[in-house]
Structure 1
Amino acid sequence: MRTLGNILWFIFGGMFGGLAWIFAGCIWCITIVGIPFGRQFFKMARLSFMPFGTSVIG
C-alpha cells in the first residue's frame, strides 16, 4: 500500500512540490547564512517526493 500511495502521490502533485522545494533550497544555498535553511528544504523535497513510509530526522 505504501508503494501504491507513493506512486499516486508522485503522479498527482508530488513531483511539482518536490521540484519547488529543490528550487527553493538552491536559492537559499546561494548565501552562507541561508545554507542551513537550504539543507532543510532539501529534506522537505525528499519527503515531498515520497511521503508514505518515510520520516525526516534532524
Structure 2
Amino acid sequence: MAVPKRRMSRANTHHRRSQWKADNVALQEVTIDGVAHRIPRRLVKAAQMGLVEVEQF
C-alpha cells in the first residue's frame, strides 16, 4: 500500500476529499403483489418476504 512521504496540507486534503462523490443506488424493478416497484437490489429479497415497507422507496 502506498504511504505518503510527508504530511499533506489541509487545503490539499480538503480539495482532494471534495472531488469524491458517492454514486446513486442502482434501483431494480420488482413486482410485489401485482404492483411494480423500484427498490435497491440489496432489499429485493426482504421486500418480497414482506420484511420491508416498499412504499417508502
User: Shorter-chain TM-score category?
Assistant: under 0.3
Bigger helix share: 1
**Quick check: which has more Rg, 1 or 2?**
2
Bigger strand share: 2
**Greater relative contact order (CA < 8 Å, ≥ 6 in sequence):** 1
Query: How high is the TM-score relative to the length of structure 2?
Result: 0.25
